[in-house]
Structure 1
Amino acid sequence: MRRLLLAGLIALTVLPVAAETPSTSPKLDLETIMANPDWMGQAVENPYWSVDGRSLYYSVKRDGSSVHDLYRVDPATGNNIKLDAAATAKAEGAAVYDRAHRRAAYIFHGDVFLVDLGSGRRTQVTRSALPESSPRFSADGRSLQFRETNNWYVYDIASGVTSPAAVLKFTDDPNDKKPDALGQQQLDLFKDLRENKQDKDALHANEQTLAAADPTRAPQPFYLGDKSQLMDTELSPDGRWMLVLTQPAHHDDGKAPDVIHYVTDSGYTETEAARQYVGRNDPAPQSVLLLDLITHKSYPLATDNLPGVKDDPLKAIRAKTIAELQKAGKDDDAKALKAPDVRPVIMYTMDNGSPGIVWSDDGRNVALEFLAVDNKDRWIASVDFAHHALEPQHRLHNDAWISWGFNDFGWLKDNRTLWYLSEESGYSQLYVKPVDGAAKALTSGKFEVSQPQLSNDGRWFYLRTNKVAPYSYDVYRVPSNGGDLSRITQYGGMDQFTLSPDDTRLAVLHSSAYVLPQLAVQSVEGGTSRDLTHTMKPAFTAYHWIEPKIVEVPSSHGAGVIYAKYYGPENETDAQASRPAVLFVHGAGYLQDVKEAATYYQHEQLFNNLLVQEGYVVLDMDYRASEGYGSAWRTAIYRQMGHPELEDLLDGKAWLVKNHGVDSKRVGIYGGSYGGFMTEMALLRAPGEFAAGAAQRPPADWVTYNDPYTADILNRPELDPEAYKVSSPITYAANLRDPLLINHGLIDNNVMASDSIRLYQRFVELHKKNFWISLYPLERHEFEHADAWYDEYRRINELFETWVKPAASN
């Protein structure tokens, strides 16, 4: 995204390019730093091992295009090859293996391939218009399972025959249709009709008998009725069971707002439906069916035995709101807020988009991960196949909300022990639990554990953790049966890793402040790593970029330490005693920007360099709600978005004044998305604290944002209207006294441009001064065009130069 054509080829070398000294480094300008980011270089993406484990594949975005090219590198020699079309056709996808490690399978260009590891013979299993996914060998290794959308297929390796695992029809069984009163009268009256029906029934019964006795036939359909719609399916590795996830048919998601396109190919104004607003309708509850593919029977898996599912964690808020509605004479609205007897649940969706259903390798156990629709509880349950019922295994409760991440789970190689991540200690840690035993923590401490990968031999878990410091991430490992957590890599800026098929090496993506993710290989025993790529551009590395200093800002509100990145002149002693400063506020709310790895905000980081060149100092803070600091830090904003974060930003300003000679009257603030929201909250809830602010694509009223994100933090607006009122900038519009620039893409379908336009109208009606709005007709939430980036930051720079930098103006 945000790319335009820029000439130059990616340099694929191992050695980095040395940066120039400050005296020879070119002077920065907005045209350069806001140009198409291809001039910086490209990130290495999606690394995976070849089937034989001797090579690594990865992709790199092509300059001037959104096309990604596929590369192959030999970890032993570092030899990189960019694959042309002919070579790409012979490449492989990320492989899965059977338990005997005799065969492998993978998806490539949406089709399924099978490889005999002994002979190297490759067989193309499918060649279809729709893409296949999720290849997996059956428990006995005789067949290969895969899915096409929600339909599962089984490829018998010996015969080469592919058949559907099950046929699902969301209609009533036409053979079970009972005659109504008139129809029964007809049967009672006419012998021929009775005989016709008897013959039809006999034919159907005979067909079912033949099908049950003949494995060469396609399976008989499951008729699941027309009251539900299919959401997902998961087939057991032994082929015996299928879990079917459904929700009520024809669920009304509520009216969706329109995004209006003013600059179009057709020359006419066009509209596009966007996501629904929070609270326009309840999320659809979900249900799970267990299908026995052998006996051809289905069983609903009731969730009413999940511990706490009948509780109402919002009881106090509900009672207060109902009382207020009744007092106002809104009895119907009050009745609509009555708590359900059993809270509805949905299935957790994992990062890869699949539902929270994981089978053990042998297919004899399965775990399901549910979330309460109010997102105050997460449950992991197994299935008692004998009684066709859920068996609760773990409950995680949070009075605020369950994290969107840290919900990974699965099975150990013994097929009866669960592993899962949980924030129950206050930080994401790894646990194991036999289905009939007690849970045990494999890791503990005030740090976060994520990306757990179980080794192929089942002996080790490899993990991403920030044990050394909140901002420093590396790969660690811990024995799956318990033991010491040991560090494997030494990057500090480790982003992602994948284990080799033979469990001996790690392919690691790592980055740093001005180096986008690069690929390296590392022994699982630790030691020296080998860099395999360098895709940064010489023109970019030629600059003497400011290395951000990670600092600790003390909280004056009992929050402990707030980590931040400080950008200042190389020689602080030569700096002026009273200087201007800018606070950059990262977006996404739950995002960590204070890390040793590359920032998501590359353009903003370069702009921060420009600001320092122009005499400012810059502070970028991981305010409360940021990722990486535990659940209490994350949920501090529950029902009060913009309040704890503002306290942290003001502490950051005070720290700059005390420690870096900053003039308290000459501090600006800017950010995008959540950072834009915080810019507006800073100016409107703390007028006079900031000389000026620039808000990019900011949510100004949370009632017009989406459901899962907003309802988790603020509950639903009809239930907790006070939380929305105190958390929305538009509530405080009357407080505007400091210059505010708002920039927004007109076709933003995440935070609607209407948010900024509505706030702008409030300022107009309140007769406010010194507020501006810039609208960009071809930009969505993330700007894509260099001209728009340049224009946006030219306006921000001019705002700061006019209202923040000059001491006399304040």
Structure 2
Amino acid sequence: MVRNCLLILAFICLSSPLFAQSQLSVEYIMRDPQWMGTFPSRARWSDDSQTIYFQYNPEKNPADSTYKIQISSPKQIQKVNWKEESAMRRDQANWNTDYSQRVYLSASDQISLENMKTGQKKVLLSWHSRVSNPTFLADENLISFVSDQNIFTLNLSTGVVKKVTQISSGSKPSKKSNATQAEQVKGFVEAENLELLQVVKERQEAEKKRAAYREATREQAEEKFVYYTEGKSPANLQLSPDGNFASFTYYNSSSNKNTKVPDYVAASGYTEDLNARPKVGTDPTTSEIGIYDLKRDSVYFIDYSKLPGLQDLPDYTKDYPDKKWDSTNRKLSLFGPIFSPDGKRAIVQARSFDNKDRWIAEVNLQTGELKNLDRQRDEAWIAGPGIGWTFSGGTLGWLPDSKHIYFQSEESGYSHLYLLNVENGNKKALTSGAYEVFDPFISRDKKSWFFTSSEVDPGERHFYQMPLMGGKKVQLTSMTGNNEVSLSPDQSKMAIIHSYSNRPEELYIQDLKPGAKPVQLTNGQSEEFKAYNWRDPEIIRFQAEDGAMVPARIYQPEASKKNGAAVIFVHGAGYLQNVHKWWSSYFREYMFHNLLTDLGYTVLDIDYRASSGYGRDWRTGIYRHMGGKDLSDQVDGAKHLVEKYGVDADRIGIYGGSYGGFITLMALFTAPEVFKSGAALRSVTDWAHYNHGYTSNILNTPEEDPIAYRRSSPIYFAEGLKGNLLMAHGMVDVNVHFQDVVRLSQRLIELGKDNWEMAIYPVEDHGFVEPSSWTDEYKRILKLFNNTLLND
């Protein structure tokens, strides 16, 4: 029986046969999400593998708290008090090779050691200033740590601390001695005074002798090498496992102009400016990595000038034959170094700022020169699961033998796991096929890989185990949907956060065996949420104009309620997947689609070109033309609805937020014959005004590739608007700025368009928070579709 609190849809018009009824309403589904129940996240294990900790909120507090379930009593869910939670903290923890000991920061100036077998803990060091990065070296009797921009070692047996780097943030002192400085020409008053007062003169002569002595002893003491940074701040200090080399990074921040977002409803009552990111095309932050040779007392910087292809120009430059392109080496960002376990080798990742190349290279630790090991070139842009980004290495490291490195690459068209022998250059793909690998890591016994992949289906995620050097994979999870696994430290059990298309996340436990039965530990759905029969949308594929098979979720109404109208939803982020078999991060939109289907609409949710989960070619299908294949996929989806699902071609609407809002604008401006109305939420209207990190990947920069920006930005196509447009935007959006829709609004005014409206939300950022804002926005969306798609 449906609970009495379910509301009747506000926009139902019982006198019209085109309208059906729904148990749902916008006001009901857009409430604080706590009404749906409480769902677990961030599962993790106790050190003894006997307790699962996770974030949960059954008490409906303002924020989630830590809860626990002991596997000896799996039916009891207990809240963790702050003392227990504080006692569990292990800041910057690092384990030795066999995981029998752990060092960590027990305070900002304190390093502790924990015996993992006995649980015994002791303070190793109480230091005079902040410390960081405690790390076991290859000789596990030594740990290194960083303090005051220098590296120290601590001997666990003797307790002796040794400063192993001599780095000073100042400038190298002048060799001109104090004695010499004292011989400078005196002024008249000083010379006359010394001539008259003998005691004063004798004291000055004595001070000169003392100064000369101090200078002489200082020169002798400073024969030990000191590296002066000349005011620069070294970051990422680390010591090689063999203790022979240290490394550090200088980040040279750009002087880009940040943007300002006015906050009209600040608590102060005054309009206040919020600092936001610069716009695309600005100069990037650069980095340089220093190698500190502790045996030779010298510092040198990694030299990437000999990497292959540094002068290769992108293919798009051919579209600008009259432009003179820089023929010098391209600028790169560097990540690393990552030292081998024995400390004798190191690798770095280098990426070109034009986003076309990634190199993995070995560092000559004697000279700083790089030897290329693997180059991945992409005429669109380098990305994909595990690939990393500008200052992140992604999946990148060494096997225990200090001879093989591992990394992920899209060389095959899908992101897979590779091994490479640095001694002979042989490369081996450990995984292959039309699927992607996520978050691989090595087992504690160093014999296996564990990873998640989409091998079963692009819309599913399962957990696998595979031999370290490659071989047969074993699928360890079996529940259809998403399986987010946290492995117990003894690697005998899995804590699984699992969800399905119409069922939010719940926590399960399962033995680490294929075919083992998962046991559900939480049951968080509220009775209100269970009262409605949430749809399990069918996943279909339709053919696009270029022959590609496009995945989509479809929501079909009952035949008796079908009104002939359809709504296409466009997910945000561009590179995101929403056609899958797990609970969507777009849960509000999912519930709204159920409401629309109740009312007789057919709803289509497409993983258009640029969506994640389908490999390199799908990801880069929008290169240099946003609003190209990503939009034509929506158009082809609309045609499919007409041809197969009996939708009236004159009754199709479209909506989405962020990237989805951008596509909605392009749809109404450039395909007005297909879409009668649309709601563009928090939309990018001109890509030259968005951020650098995202946009320059896809469109290069507006200075270098204006063609790409001109054909990708809705503001240049606003004259094409014929249907009905709703724009909705938060005024304190620091991601897609409110300025975007302000500029487009002025353009529409100048074009004399009167079939559009705008809703503004003064307290909302990019992701809405307030239920009242969600409710207002979606009431307007529903009103738009009801008024334009159901009324002739």
Tell me whether the two structures share a fold, i.e. TM-score over 0.5.
Answer: yes
Query: Among 24, 44, 49, which residue is 1:48 paired with?
Result: 44
Matched with 1:282 is 283
Matched with 1:19 is none
1:120 aligns with 2:123: no
Matched with 1:75 is 71
Alignment of 1:371-770 (within 5 A): 371-403=351-383, 405-407=385-387, 408-437=395-424, 438-526=426-514, 527-558=516-547, 560-569=548-557, 571=558, 573-576=559-562, 579-770=564-755
Deviations 1:31-58 (A, max 9, x none): 1110111222344232222222222222
Could you say if the C-alpha distance between residues 623 and 100 of structure 1 is closer, same or farther in structure 2, counting changes exceeding 3 Å?
closer
SS class of match (1:687): coil
Matched with 2:23 is 27
1:683–1:738 contact (8 Å) kept in structure 2:
yes
Offset at 1:134?
A: 5.2
What count of residue pairs does the alignment treat as equivalent?
741
Could you say if the C-alpha distance between residues 495 and 777 of structure 1 is closer, same or farther in structure 2, counting changes exceeding 3 Å?
farther
Moved more, 534-543 or 477-486: 534-543
- TM normalised by structure 2 equals 0.87
SS class of match (1:67): coil
Moved more, 53-62 or 313-322: 313-322
Matched with 2:220 is 206
SS class of match (2:65): strand
2:22–2:598 contact (8 Å) kept in structure 1:
no
Cα distance between partner residues in 2 of 1:318 and 1:177: 57
2:286–2:333 contact (8 Å) kept in structure 1:
yes
Computed over aligned residues only, the root mean square deviation of the Cα atoms, in angstroms, reads: 3.1
Offset at 1:708?
A: 1.2
Percent identity of equivalent pairs: 34
Look up the equivalent residue of 2:228 and give its one-letter code: Y
Moved more, 134-143 or 253-262: 134-143
Offset at 1:492?
A: 3.5
SS class of match (1:626): coil
Matched with 1:216 is none
Cα distance between partner residues in 1 of 2:494 and 2:668: 47
Could you say if the C-alpha distance between residues 112 and 616 of structure 1 is closer, same or farther in structure 2, counting changes exceeding 3 Å?
farther
SS class of match (1:476): strand
Could you say if the C-alpha distance between residues 314 and 59 of structure 1 is closer, same or farther in structure 2, counting changes exceeding 3 Å?
same
Cα distance between partner residues in 1 of 2:125 and 2:749: 61
Deviations 1:238-261 (A, max 9, x none): 44322212233xx44322121101
Cα distance between partner residues in 1 of 2:53 and 2:660: 36
Matched with 2:196 is none
1:268 aligns with 2:267: no
Matched with 2:85 is 88
Moved more, 190-199 or 630-639: 190-199
Matched with 1:254 is 256
Alignment of 1:114-193 (within 5 A): 114-123=113-122, 135-145=134-144, 154-159=153-158, 166=165, 168-174=167-173, 176=174
Deviations 1:76-101 (A, max 9, x none): 54243211123223335596431243
1:584–1:670 contact (8 Å) kept in structure 2:
yes
Matched with 1:328 is none
Could you say if the C-alpha distance between residues 320 and 145 of structure 1 is closer, same or farther in structure 2, counting changes exceeding 3 Å?
same
Could you say if the C-alpha distance between residues 683 and 130 of structure 1 is closer, same or farther in structure 2, counting changes exceeding 3 Å?
farther
Matched with 1:365 is 345
Offset at 1:193?
A: 11
1:552–1:563 contact (8 Å) kept in structure 2:
yes
Moved more, 403-412 or 790-799: 403-412
Matched with 2:782 is 797
Moved more, 31-40 or 160-169: 160-169
Look up the equivalent residue of 2:257 and give its one-letter code: K
Cα distance between partner residues in 2 of 1:536 and 1:126: 48
SS class of match (2:461): strand
Matched with 2:3 is none
Matched with 2:95 is 97
2:555–2:604 contact (8 Å) kept in structure 1:
yes
Moved more, 767-776 or 295-304: 295-304
Cα distance between partner residues in 2 of 1:429 and 1:641: 27
SS class of match (2:286): coil
1:318–1:719 contact (8 Å) kept in structure 2:
no
Cα distance between partner residues in 2 of 1:129 and 1:788: 51
Look up the equivalent residue of 1:447 and give its one-letter code: Y
Matched with 1:291 is 292
1:114–1:125 contact (8 Å) kept in structure 2:
yes
Offset at 1:204?
A: 2.5
Larger Rg: 1 or 2?
Answer: 2
Could you say if the C-alpha distance between residues 476 and 101 of structure 1 is closer, same or farther in structure 2, counting changes exceeding 3 Å?
closer
- TM normalised by structure 1 equals 0.85
Cα distance between partner residues in 1 of 2:212 and 2:364: 39
Cα distance between partner residues in 2 of 1:496 and 1:112: 33
Matched with 2:390 is none
Offset at 1:229?
A: 4.8
SS class of match (2:648): strand
Cα distance between partner residues in 1 of 2:327 and 2:235: 23
SS class of match (2:637): helix
Cα distance between partner residues in 2 of 1:436 and 1:631: 30
Moved more, 294-303 or 417-426: 294-303
1:673–1:699 contact (8 Å) kept in structure 2:
yes
Cα distance between partner residues in 2 of 1:125 and 1:778: 49
Could you say if the C-alpha distance between residues 763 and 199 of structure 1 is closer, same or farther in structure 2, counting changes exceeding 3 Å?
same
Look up the equivalent residue of 1:704 and give its one-letter code: H
Cα distance between partner residues in 2 of 1:135 and 1:805: 65
1:234 aligns with 2:223: no
Offset at 1:321?
A: 5.8
Could you say if the C-alpha distance between residues 115 and 651 of structure 1 is closer, same or farther in structure 2, counting changes exceeding 3 Å?
same
Could you say if the C-alpha distance between residues 57 and 731 of structure 1 is closer, same or farther in structure 2, counting changes exceeding 3 Å?
same
Cα distance between partner residues in 2 of 1:149 and 1:136: 17
Cα distance between partner residues in 2 of 1:714 and 1:303: 26
Cα distance between partner residues in 1 of 2:502 and 2:162: 51
SS class of match (2:454): strand
Cα distance between partner residues in 2 of 1:567 and 1:146: 57
Could you say if the C-alpha distance between residues 137 and 467 of structure 1 is closer, same or farther in structure 2, counting changes exceeding 3 Å?
same
2:177–2:215 contact (8 Å) kept in structure 1:
no
